Amino acid sequence: MTTFTSTLPDDLMDLLSEKAKKMKLPKNRLIEKALRIYLEQLNKAEYAKSYKNALNDEDILLIAEEGMADYFKQIED
């Protein structure tokens, strides 16, 4: 495991300490959990953005439509 040192604003450190105490977790574990959740949310947002961008890409839409046509043809056969 790698050691990481950082500074936090006092108000954020107070909130972290309070929440860690309530959850009976060490502060570093709470930070780790929160960071994992945050990074997962960033990945999901990036994934969703790629789909939104695909809506405006005529080539991707054409490929999808052709794929659906092939799929329906296979179902009919």
With bands split at pLDDT 50, 70 and 90, how would you rate the model's confidence at 28? very high
Report the distance separating Cα 22 and Cα 45, nearest Å. 30
Q: Which residues contact 8 (CB under 8 A, 6 or more apart)?
A: 16
What pLDDT digit, counting tens, does each position of 50-72 carry? 877 777 778 877 787 787 877 78
Determine the distance from the C-alpha atom of residue 63 to the mean position of all C-alpha atoms in its chain, rounded to a whole number.
27
DSSP track, 11-30: HHHHHHHHHHHHHT--HHHH
29 has pLDDT over 80: yes
Cβ–Cβ < 8 Å for 32, 20: no
Report the distance separating Cα 37 and Cα 33, nearest Å. 6
pLDDT at residue 60 in the model: 77
